[in-house]
Amino acid sequence: MKTTRTRREFLSDVGRGMLVATVGYEVASELGMASALAEEAELSFGSLEPLVCLMQETPVNRLLPALAEQLRSGTDLRRLVAAGALANARTFGGEDYVGFHTMMALAPALHMANELPTEFRPLPVFKVLYRNTNRIQERGGRKEEVLHLVKPSLISKDRSCGEILREAVRNKNVILAEQTLTALAQRSPDDAFNDVLFAVQDNTEVHRVVLPYRAWDLLGLIGKEQADTLLRQSVRYCVKAESWSRTGTWDEPRTLLPKLLDAHKLLGRSPGERKVDDTWVDQMSQTIFRSTPQQAAEAAAAALAEGISPADVGEALTLAANQLVLRDMGRTPRDEVPSKPLGSVHGDSIGVHACDSANAWRNIARVSNSRNCFASLILGAYQVALDRTARGGDFLNWQPLPIARHLAEIKATDSDGLLREADEAIRGNLQAKAGAVIQRYGELSHSPRPMFDLLLRYAVSEDGALHAEKFYRTVSEEFLTTRAAFRWRHVVALARVTASEFGRPAAGIAEARALLNV
């Protein structure tokens, strides 16, 4: 709701407008004087605007009844998610930790809803929308909105649009970066996505990587006409990151990536289609896992140059990341916090972050142009190897789950018996046993769906420290795209994380169940 301006605010706006009119918008932008003018024009979302405002303005203790009423009046879950995503983007602009994690959970929540029986489908969506509105109001609601209407800039025909956008990001010129993105999105959402990736690829920090892919996944659900709004979050995140403390490792992708693309003559060519066998994928995953970041990137670039299909290189990449969940010794006393106790592996653990990043790189490679396909898999390999060493731990010598003792203790062989054992292990926070039961379930070739239904139940009910929905979606995607010999490794990882996070119910979930009578 628009508030009445004071006389002082009115005269201040007039003065800013006269200044911009005098020196010109581009000069004012370069001098940082046009930001207030941009803020004057509110970003609005047409027919979705009332629902977006509902997400921002409804007191959180009245949100779930309001959402239930929307469902009864015919609004579908997709439209609720669209409104929640736009409310999130307009409020936070990719600059709030809880905010952008919530945005990244919206598409996974809708995918999860589609796996549930009809009467249960609203639950994961309501869960994330509750978190969304709660955070919006914690941060000041509409009066603290970050995104405002942006005037598109003129795009030079003499330079790569991706390079122009990346240069604006490196120069910390958020106005020019957003204006450039807006112009690109008006021309082609697909091209805008590919051009944003130039800036993303300057570093492999997890949120920098996952944010654009989850935004793109969301666009497939709510419509690409909102590409500039959702991708502006990534642009602003990257601009903000330019002010963080830097090391040689932080900046290394800026020089390593172009070097490898050039050395392996990957620019200007199409990805290969050569398929490989299980042994190659397993060996490549071990190479990525055991190498230095530079060696892992080189191995991925060489494989792509040999014509190995990106799908197979990506499969090896995600299996390497999976080892960081299977081998993790859990949080140390230094890392312990109330929602993430000693020994836990859920939330922002090394392994969960690595798997979510690898999944994002693999999916970006799938939906982007040839250059970005190659770049994503090279940087994905680099990141897994970096994750193995950068946060501490002796991952090379730690043994992956499941271990022989837990496998030997499992006596059941039927599907129902194993599902009961898995459920008991999860409820007992027995990470290793839960993983062993899932391993045995897969070895016996039981139907995946009942086991996923069990794990989905807890991905919906538990808090998960901001990562439950996203990691469930990561694993369900990787299971479908990984060959039979290895796919159950991903489910073992999910079972372990689920056992770790159990016992901390999500805020709002009990109220949502009561409203929906489920």
Q: Is residue 3 part of a domain?
A: no
**DSSP-H helix ranges across 223-264:** 227-241, 248-263
Domain boundary among 219, 241, 263: 241
Q: 140 and 201: one domain?
A: no
Of the pLDDT bands very low, low, confident and very high (cuts 50, 70, 90), residue 9 is: very low
Q: 228 and 264: one domain?
A: no
Mean pLDDT of the chain: 92
Q: How many CA atoms lie within 13 A of 503 on its CB side?
A: 17
Give pLDDT tens digits for 149-164.
Answer: 999 998 888 789 999 9
> What is the predicted pLDDT for the residue at 20?
39
Q: 233 and 256: one domain?
A: no
- Token couple for 346: 């859920």
Q: Is residue 518 part of a domain?
A: no
- Percent above pLDDT 90 for the chain: 87
pLDDT at 25 over 90: no
Q: 183 and 285: one domain?
A: no
pLDDT at 13 over 80: no
Q: 35 and 84: one domain?
A: no
Residue 255 DSSP SS3: helix
> What is the predicted pLDDT for the residue at 220?
86
Residue 221, Cβ density class (10 Å: 0-12 exposed, 13-18 middle, ≥19 buried): middle
Q: 385 and 283: one domain?
A: yes
Amino acid identity of residue 293, one-letter, is P
Q: 275 and 311: one domain?
A: yes
> What is the predicted pLDDT for the residue at 390?
84
Residue 309 CA to residue 312 CA, distance in Å, equals 5
Give pLDDT tens digits for 349-368.
Answer: 999 999 999 999 999 999 99
> What is the predicted pLDDT for the residue at 40?
54
- Token couple for 140: 């000041």
- Token couple for 401: 């789950």
CA 216, 218, 223, 226 torsion-angle sign: negative
Give pLDDT tens digits for 220-251.
Answer: 888 898 999 999 999 999 999 999 988 878 89
Residues 6+ apart with CB under 8 A from 342: 330, 331, 332, 333, 336
> Domain containing 425 — which CATH number?
1.20.272
Of the two residues 123 and 226, the one the predictor is more confident about is 123
pLDDT at 264 over 90: yes
Q: 279 and 232: one domain?
A: no
pLDDT at 202 over 50: yes
- Token couple for 216: 């793109």
Structure pTM? 0.91
Residue 332, Cβ density class (10 Å: 0-12 exposed, 13-18 middle, ≥19 buried): exposed
Q: 205 and 187: one domain?
A: yes
> What is the predicted pLDDT for the residue at 250?
87
Residue 437 CA to residue 374 CA, distance in Å, equals 37
Q: Is residue 6 part of a domain?
A: no
Residue 299 CA to residue 373 CA, distance in Å, equals 15
* Number of domains, the chain: 5
- Token couple for 152: 């598109």
Q: Is residue 119 part of a domain?
A: yes
> What is the predicted pLDDT for the residue at 77?
98
Q: 117 and 55: one domain?
A: yes
Calculate helix-pair angle for 97-114, 77-92, nearest 10 degrees: 170
Q: Is residue 120 part of a domain?
A: yes
Mean pLDDT on 412-417: 98
Question: What is the domain extent for residue 91?
Answer: 46-144
> What is the predicted pLDDT for the residue at 493?
99
Give pLDDT tens digits for 424-474.
Answer: 999 999 999 999 999 999 999 999 999 999 999 999 999 999 999 999 999
> What is the predicted pLDDT for the residue at 154?
86
Mean pLDDT on 409-422: 98
Q: Is residue 289 part of a domain?
A: yes
Domain boundary among 82, 113, 144: 144
Mean pLDDT on 307-327: 99
pLDDT at 11 over 50: no
Q: 252 and 382: one domain?
A: yes
> What is the predicted pLDDT for the residue at 248?
77
pLDDT at 369 over 70: yes
Q: 36 and 59: one domain?
A: no
CA angle 198, 200, 202 (to 5 degrees): 80
Please tell me what DSSP assigns to residue 92.
H
Q: How many CB atoms lie within 10 A of CB 202?
A: 21
Domain boundary among 360, 390, 420: 390
pLDDT at 21 over 70: no
Q: Is residue 517 part of a domain?
A: no
pLDDT at 35 over 70: no
- Proportion of the chain in helix, strand, coil states, percent, rounded to 5: 70, 0, 25
In contact, 40 and 151? CB cutoff 8 Å: no
Q: Residue-wise over 482-509: b if at least 16 C-beta within 10 A, else e?
A: beeebbbbbbbbbbbbbbbbbebebebb
> What is the predicted pLDDT for the residue at 19?
40
Residue 333 CA to residue 343 CA, distance in Å, equals 9
Q: Is residue 156 part of a domain?
A: no
Q: Residue-wise over 376-410: b if at least 16 C-beta within 10 A, else e?
A: bbbbbbbbbbbbbeeeebebeeeebbbeeebbeeb
> What is the predicted pLDDT for the residue at 500?
99
Distances in Å between the Cα of 488 and the Cα atoms of 191, 363, 400, 465, 467 are: 36, 20, 13, 24, 20
